[in-house]
Structure 1
Amino acid sequence: MRRCGCGVWQKADTVLFHCNNWRSVASNRLEHNHADDSTPDLLCATVSPSPGYSMEEERTMQCPNCGYQNAQTSRFCRQCGKALVTAAPARTAEPTQSVPVITAEDAALQEDLVPQPLKPTTSGAAPGALVGVEESTAPPMQPALAAGTNVAGYTIVELHDERNGMRTYRAQAPGDVCAQCGTPAVEPNARFCEECGAELLPRDVLLVEQTAEQPSGAVHVIDLPDEPVKALLPPVTAVEHEGKRYLVIEQVVPGWQSLAELLSGHGEAPDQPAALEESDALPLALQLAQLIQYLHRNRLALGDLSLAQLLVGPQGRIRLRDVQSLRPLDEGARQADLLQLHHTLEDLTRTPRQTRKLDANALEGVGGTPTSLQDLLAQARMGSLGDADAWVAALSAVADSKRAVQSLVSQVGALSHVGLVRELNEDSLLTIDFKLDVAGRPINAGVYVVADGMGGHEGGEVASSLAVQSMANVVAGSLIEFMVDSTAGLNDAQLNDVALQAAERANMAVYEESRRRNNDMGTTLTFALVVGDRCIVGNVGDSRTYLLRNGQLQRVSKDHSLVQRLVDVGQIQPDDIYTHPHRNAILRSLGEKVQVEVDLFPLRLQSGDILFCCSDGQWEMVRDPRMNEIITSHTDLQAAAAQLIAEGNQNGGEDNITAVLVKFS
């Protein structure tokens, strides 16, 4: 890594930060013009970095209080929470080197990507004048409001900030306007807000003087749609005074404290902030990601996001201190928001930032669904979380994996029938419900299985029966072990291991019996293993498991059949599987080999969900939309199972028919 003459750190073949020392070399990239550097071919930050490298944030604003290097966009120090003052840019000598000639296309790209430096003077211009810059005709600014001035009931205390022609005042608000939601009191002597119940007290607020030339970021809050996540933004109202508009922003809210202040001085070193445990950092990070998602969907960028900007209130709720950095969204602002979110999460957990090259194995290791904040940060460093939606989904997945198992109540309906064509019912079903005592809490558990045997007399029915018996033995033993040693809790990986072990044991039981009998018996298998609200669905073959949620039936498992493969490659349409001449050919079954490949699908069950396991004799005879209607029309699951099988027989009954329904509440 080396430092550019403009003060930007660079690494060969990749660019970490934005830099103004550039020259145009093509319409699709910019190149640094390093007169004193032996390696000039460094791409600008506006171009994606080379694969295998991670990125650091440029820190160029030093805190006058603690010396910490903050991002240029930060308005408060990430380390100590003090306000940062942007120094006026120093006047520099005019460049003596010639300005490179660029094409119109490159000029347009330059306009979009890099803030333009002022052009040097040329012949014919007045000394000290700048080419392309018109002399300002704006009227001079009016004097600032004096302390004690009354602005629509708000009393000016002092001029709090003045930058870019925009003034922000600190003022005392009347006690009849709620600090929590901004609702004025109806009665003059009211002590509590009738809208949210907060106590009404005099307090300090910020008054932002609104001008057409310099619109404040706070003005954007007024027009945002009302959604729960908007509560993370400070309430903004507008008042008029002597023809000017002022935005009222709550600065300090009773019961809320800056996160930087809460963590300051509680780390391993006296001057180091404390790190939050993952269980505490996760809900804060998820709220921030949801806020950025909300703003981006409304074409706004958050801008400043630091620990000093975050106020923490009751029940772990967070709120921004102010929204003066809010601005219209563009690609650069979108990426900056995501980078700030990433670094704020690292600050919360005190995760060190590293710039290092990763090999292919390391890149593959950070894929998949994250189960910890460290997994998530690794994915972010690799660029896997490209937008706010991806951040929200990843954080939600981590939260789900950490959430304690919730107990549900199950109701079961199950039935099997030989059908109208076959002489023997080779299907088998299993439904077992358990009640576990986990750390003093009663938790429901169960295993629900359908197996469709193959091999004729003393073949198919034996294979399917062996499969469900083996599943029951493995699951029962594993759940008892879990109940005995439940201090560490249950996670998805453990449940996944139990499901896989049970299916593999069922396969081995069928395989060994097939060799003992010297026949080609086999069976399909579909099942749902449930502990509390956690569920693992598995399948081998073309028996299916569905989930009915909010009145909509959706298939969870995927058939291992020839017709499904033809659908996947686009040779036939999905509806052709019901009439194709090879619709009974399956590509995977239990008992065929020593090792079997089992598909597993994790689910989080909700109250009202219904799991539906069935053999192909059911779904081939009754199409999915009709099965949806039948299940939703019954409150009694046993009656629903009976009607499913009855309609299967009415439509031909060409195979054995089995249906298992389990409802959770």
Structure 2
Amino acid sequence: MAARTGQGSHIGSRAEQQDCAACFVSADARCHLLVVADGMGGRSGGARAARAVIQSAEAHWQDARRLPDNPPAFLQSLCQHAHAAIGQFAEDSGEPAGTTVVALLCGPERAWWVHAGDSRLYAFRAGRPVFRTDDHTIVQQRVRRGQLDETAAALHPDQHKLLRGLGGRDPLQLTHGQMRVDADTGFVLCTDGFWAHVSSDEMAGLLAAADPDQACAQWAAVAAERAGAGADNATVAVLQPAGSPSHGFWRPLWPLIAAVALALAAFVWLAIRS
């Protein structure tokens, strides 16, 4: 069974949608590229910056259309081109523009990713979270120092103060990562407007959804609703496991199911003896 992708966004209570997402798949369905960007800037600057990331991803994918020979270099180039385009737009227009980015390139046996800012990648195996990226924010620095816990950090007033991003005159700084993948591995990429209000356990359900696009759209709306007044844009993209979604989703419950079955068998045996 081939892995499937899905994506969804909600504008929240903002006047403009400055999030963007895109999912690309190779002709043989063995390689996927997922990208999520959360734009920042006045007027249309943030939206333009986020779109620049997607345009760069599409251009790079059109040239490759398969797993590149050097995945980290491919992702670096994708972000570098977007970074330059955003900087040029800001210089020409006099309008501030920048964006976060998280991009995933996944092949049959391995996945690579890159990120800057506070848009995140979550990795799951058999429905269980096994990894997530660390935000490039002042608040995340305080979490690493033990000054804040993750729950308080998600809603901290300084959460949006980024240390890295695309756009601007500073050299591009990215964090790269990679991991082995198998038929039970799935990924969720999302902006802070999504992850601040949706738990990793709830995200795991997206990896088992029969219609991933619909599920992503519904959960983006849930994130915006939970945020209440002043809700940020919320965007999520998923790469479901290549194995059966239901197989991966139910595996964490197998010990409980087995225990219930054994208890039921013992009850029946005792009932027969009496």
Matched, 1:586 2:162: yes
Matched, 1:659 2:236: yes
Whether the 8 Å contact between 1:548 and 1:609 is mirrored in structure 2 is: yes
Matched, 1:497 2:73: yes
The code of the aligned residue for 1:566 comes to R
1:412-465 CA deviation, whole Å, 9 max, x = no partner? Answer: 11111101x211100011111112xxxxxx562221111000113221100100
Q: Which residue does the alignment assign to 1:465?
A: 51
The code of the aligned residue for 1:502 comes to L
Q: Which residue does the alignment assign to 2:189?
A: 613
Whether the 8 Å contact between 1:508 and 1:594 is mirrored in structure 2 is: no
Alignment of 1:45-124 (within 5 A): none
Whether the 8 Å contact between 1:511 and 1:594 is mirrored in structure 2 is: no
Matched, 1:409 2:2: yes
Structure with bigger helix share is 2
Inter-partner Cα distance in structure 1 for 2:240 and 2:67: 26
Whether the 8 Å contact between 1:522 and 1:590 is mirrored in structure 2 is: yes
Inter-partner Cα distance in structure 2 for 1:443 and 1:412: 11
Inter-partner Cα distance in structure 2 for 1:529 and 1:478: 12
Inter-partner Cα distance in structure 2 for 1:498 and 1:604: 18
Alignment of 1:107-146 (within 5 A): none
User: Which of these residues, 66, 79, 82, is aligned with residue 506 of structure 1?
Assistant: 82
Whether the 8 Å contact between 1:413 and 1:641 is mirrored in structure 2 is: yes
1:326-360 CA deviation, whole Å, 9 max, x = no partner? Answer: xxxxxxxxxxxxxxxxxxxxxxxxxxxxxxxxxxx
The code of the aligned residue for 1:418 comes to I
Could you say what secondary structure the match of 1:587 adopts? coil
Whether the 8 Å contact between 1:427 and 1:461 is mirrored in structure 2 is: yes
Whether the 8 Å contact between 1:417 and 1:656 is mirrored in structure 2 is: yes
Inter-partner Cα distance in structure 2 for 1:661 and 1:626: 13
Inter-partner Cα distance in structure 1 for 2:66 and 2:207: 34
User: Given the superposition, is the C-alpha separation of residues 480 and 652 from structure 1 closer, same or farther in structure 2, using an over 3 Å criterion?
Assistant: closer
Alignment of 1:134-173 (within 5 A): none
Whether the 8 Å contact between 1:451 and 1:467 is mirrored in structure 2 is: yes
Alignment of 1:514-525 (within 5 A): 514-525=90-101
The code of the aligned residue for 1:661 comes to V
Could you say what secondary structure the match of 1:466 adopts? helix
Matched, 1:444 2:30: yes
Inter-partner Cα distance in structure 2 for 1:646 and 1:511: 32
Alignment of 1:387-398 (within 5 A): none
Whether the 8 Å contact between 2:31 and 2:66 is mirrored in structure 1 is: no
Inter-partner Cα distance in structure 2 for 1:597 and 1:590: 8
Inter-partner Cα distance in structure 2 for 1:643 and 1:609: 22
Question: Shift of residue 480 of structure 1?
Answer: 6.6
The code of the aligned residue for 1:604 comes to R
The code of the aligned residue for 2:161 comes to A
Could you say what secondary structure the match of 1:602 adopts? strand
Q: Kindly report structure 1 stretches of 4+ aligned residues shifted beyond 3 Å.
A: 478-482
Matched, 1:425 2:17: yes
Inter-partner Cα distance in structure 2 for 1:474 and 1:638: 24
Whether the 8 Å contact between 2:37 and 2:53 is mirrored in structure 1 is: yes
The code of the aligned residue for 2:200 comes to D
TM-score by length of 1: 0.35
Give ranges in structure 2 of 5+ residues lacking alignment: 243-274
User: Which of these residues, 567, 574, 599, is aligned with residue 175 of structure 2?
Assistant: 599
The code of the aligned residue for 1:522 comes to G
1:377-405 CA deviation, whole Å, 9 max, x = no partner? Answer: xxxxxxxxxxxxxxxxxxxxxxxxxxxxx
Q: Which residue does the alignment assign to 1:561?
A: 137
Number of aligned residue pairs: 240
Question: Shift of residue 511 of structure 1?
Answer: 1.2
User: Which of these residues, 35, 53, 62, is aligned with residue 476 of structure 1?
Assistant: 62
The code of the aligned residue for 2:232 comes to D
RCO comparison, higher one (Cα < 8 Å, 6+): 2
Could you say what secondary structure the match of 2:30 adopts? strand
Whether the 8 Å contact between 2:39 and 2:48 is mirrored in structure 1 is: yes
User: Given the superposition, is the C-alpha separation of residues 458 and 624 from structure 1 closer, same or farther in structure 2, using an over 3 Å criterion?
Assistant: same
Inter-partner Cα distance in structure 1 for 2:29 and 2:8: 26
Q: Which residue does the alignment assign to 1:255?
A: none
TM-score by length of 2: 0.81
Could you say what secondary structure the match of 1:560 adopts? coil
Inter-partner Cα distance in structure 2 for 1:536 and 1:525: 14
Alignment of 1:85-484 (within 5 A): 409-419=2-12, 421-435=13-27, 442=28, 444-479=30-65
Inter-partner Cα distance in structure 2 for 1:568 and 1:513: 35
Give ranges in structure 1 of 5+ residues lacking alignment: 1-407, 436-441, 483-489
Could you say what secondary structure the match of 2:227 adopts? coil
The code of the aligned residue for 1:634 comes to A
Could you say what secondary structure the match of 2:236 adopts? strand
Could you say what secondary structure the match of 1:528 adopts? strand
Question: Shift of residue 597 of structure 1?
Answer: 1.0
